[in-house]
């Protein structure tokens, strides 16, 4: 994947956000509790709400709580009511991420973000962490649901970055949603275990590699 010489074709690394760059469990689970409480559902244990991390909110409310489309939309709006004011900042950046991004830039990689989180929220979080400067493009979901799934987010990222040959790009993500979304657009995915997915989950989904830390990722791309 390394770029060799000035005439070499630019290579691209796309990153998931939650569980890959940011440990966002606190903010996401608290916002999920807030939204569920509005519908009379109490879940005091945040560990039991980790399935909210990664996939689109509408999907999660429908799959795990049997909500119809209209109710899931209302639950998503209630979630965002707290998230946009408070939950968005209840997160921390994983150790070693800035060094990883800096190393990729120094080697000439193009870097993009591809998240199922709303795009505006993605940009705010990257600015909050002070790493927005490393990203050539930031792509997230649209508030109206037009772009929502990982596949749709990746298709938009590839379009904006003008990547015609998907073999020249790779996604880094922490769950099977990332691996499967990448496969749907013909990309490979490097799974990471320091987020919210497991090695078994990532390997079973078909991740090209499974690594355990940002430092391992840094060394992988320096090959």
Active site residues: 16
Radius of gyration of the chain, Cα coordinates, nearest whole angstrom = 17
Q: Which of 189, 9, 4, 222 is nearest to 102 (CA)?
A: 222
Residue with tokens 């497991």: 198
Count of beta carbons in the 10 Å neighbourhood of residue 67: 18
Fill in the DSSP letter of residue 169: E
Q: What is the SS3 string spanning 11-64?
A: CEEEECCECCCEECHHHHHHHHHHHHHHCCCCCCCHHHHHHHCCCCHHHHHHHH
Do residues 14 and 114 make contact, with C-beta atoms less than 8 angstroms apart? yes
């Amino acid at each position: 994947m390394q770029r060799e010489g000035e005439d070499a074709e630019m290579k691209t690394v796309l990153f998931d956000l939650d569980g890959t760059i940011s440990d966002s469990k606190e903010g996401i689970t608290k916002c999920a509790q807030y939204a569920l409480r509005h519908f009379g559902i109490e879940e005091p244990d945040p560990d039991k709400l980790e399935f909210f991390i990664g996939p689109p909110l509408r999907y999660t409310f429908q799959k795990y709580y049997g909500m119809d489309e209209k109710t899931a939309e209302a639950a998503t709006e209630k979630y965002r009511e707290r998230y946009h004011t408070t939950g968005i900042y209840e997160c921390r950046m994983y150790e070693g991420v800035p060094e990883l991004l800096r190393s990729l830039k120094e080697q000439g990689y193009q870097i993009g973000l591809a998240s199922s989180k709303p795009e505006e929220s993605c940009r705010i979080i990257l600015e909050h962490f002070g790493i927005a400067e490393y990203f050539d493009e930031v792509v997230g979901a649209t508030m109206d649901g037009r772009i929502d799934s990982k596949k749709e987010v990746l298709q938009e990222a590839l379009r904006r970055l003008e990547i015609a040959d998907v073999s020249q790009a790779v996604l880094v993500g922490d769950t099977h949603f990332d691996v499967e979304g990448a496969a749907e657009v013909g990309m490979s995915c490097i799974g990471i275990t320091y987020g919210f997915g497991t090695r078994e989950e990532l390997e079973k989904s078909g991740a090209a590699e499974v690594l355990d830390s940002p430092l391992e990722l840094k060394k992988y791309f320096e090959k």
